[in-house]
Structures are given as C-alpha cells and as structure tokens.
Chain A
Amino acid sequence: MIIAERKPFEELKGFVADKKKVLVVGCRGCVTVCNAGGTKEVGILASELRLDAGKDGRELTVDEHTLERQCDPEYIEELVEMVGKNYDAILSMACSVGPQFISTRYPDQTVYPSLNTLFMGGALQHGIWAERCQGCGNCVIHNFGGMCPVARCAKSLQNGPCGGSANGVCEISKEVDCIWHLIATKMMETGKVETDFAPVQPIKDWSTSRDGGPRKVVREDLVK
C-alpha cells in the first residue's frame, strides 16, 4: 500500500490561518490502514484545528468527511454537495493523489495536501512501515531472492553489494539493512549462489520507470 504520514501541525495550521470554514476529507484506502488519513485521523485533525482556532480567538468551522477512495473520480463526485457549501479550503488526508483528483474535479476550490506521501511498502508490525517497491515498471525481484534492490538499496544496484556494505548494514546509516547483504546471505543459505547470485545482471532499462516520464496504464478491455 501507499504509506504516508500527517504533516506537522504547524504546517497544517498555516494552511487554515486565514480561513473561516474548511472541510477535512479522509480516504478509506491505504491511508486508513497506515493510520494517517482515515476517519479517525480526520476526526483528530479537525478537532485539533478547531481547538487551535479557539485558542487563537479565530472563528473556524471545520467539517469532516471520509470518502471510500480519493483516487477514483466516482468517489470524488460524492463531494459535489459539500463543495457547494462554500468552503474556504479543502484539506485532503489521502495520499497526494487525492488532493490532485479533488482540485482537478473542483477547480475553483483551494485544496491542500495534509499528508506527506512517502512510499510503497508494508507493515513490519503495527505502527512500523517499510519501503518495498519503487514502481520501476519492470519487476525483477525473482532475480534477487524476492527482495527489491531498486527500492531497498540506497543506490538501486543491480549487481551489489557495493563497498559500503559492512556487517549487514548500509553505509548510509546504521539503521538501514544492506539489502545486498540480505540477498547474498539468502543465496548462500538456499544454495543458489552459482545459479542466481554469480551471473551479472544486465543493465536495467529505466525507461519503464520514472525516467520515461509520467506513466499511464490503459486497459482497452475496461475502458468504455
């Protein structure tokens, strides 16, 4: 899923500093699962904004609403009625796809992203999420013991490890595993050094990744 985290309160407070009436919109997709922008987080942010405005003696109405998803026009359409209530700003708590969809659909609205969208990953345990994929557009993890060197190696090396790998840790930080250490260890443990580790991986074609510009998928069988 997409992992995101809420922006610092100070920044969000700045968004509404000169506003009288705002709408906070959550998303029931990934950001609900990673506890960043679901109904509960919408409630917390809305409450904090109200309290803060009261503290500073500002009038501020904060309404709350959570959509099924914000990355789908069908749900964005649900906001029609609410948008008609003349909000000074809409704070989207979806990943940053959401605020873009909202501002495209409602061009006269002022829309702010309330989260910082971080990466594609998963939960290592409740409350801890880690990056696993960078959407390179041509998945090759089967060559690396099921681990992604694109997303998990600081240099996205296809033929690692580099000289910075020490005691299983990447040179960028003691907190970061060297994924190439894990790949090599797994190859040794599973007896695949000769077949899978020794061969030199070809140069990766990055044109399917961001290097090829913004991407789009068209499924003719689904398009009406």
Chain B
Amino acid sequence: MALNIDWLKLFRGERKTSAQLAKDRLMVAVAIQRAELAGKSQVPPYLQKMREEIVSVVRKYVQVPDEAVQFSLQRERGLEVLELNITLPEHAA
C-alpha cells in the first residue's frame, strides 16, 4: 500500500487535509509509543517503507546511493525526533 504523505506537497507548503494531518501525527505518535514500550529496540513496520518511498522521490531529482539517506527515530532529552538526512552528491546542488 502506498504511503500517503505527499512530501512534495509538504515541501511546497500546500495545505494538508485534516485526515492527512491526523495520519502524519499518528505515524509519529505510534512510532514513539512503540519505541518507548520496547525500550527503543522496536521499529514500527512502516518506517522502512517510508524510507524507501522518500528515497524514490529524492531520486526523481537527484541520483543518490542508498547509503546517502539516513533515517532515524530518536529520543533526546525527552524530545522525540524523526530525522532524515540526505547527503547530496557534490556536483548536484
């Protein structure tokens, strides 16, 4: 099933529907809940898929190898952070 976060829309700052907003918030809330309960060891099932889809969107514009995309969910001082790091090739920008 396709992941319905429309990243391009997000980047362009288009308004999300109320349902999309709910879904986006839930994805993170559920991920955090699972991480808390499992002592951070468990990764929610959609994270891998989310990563793959983001990579495929990025590749529409820039050719990047798999390792160039780092994706992580962390807790830092009580703050939950979903971090996405894309290293662009030097000649791209």
Q: Do A and B bind each other?
A: no
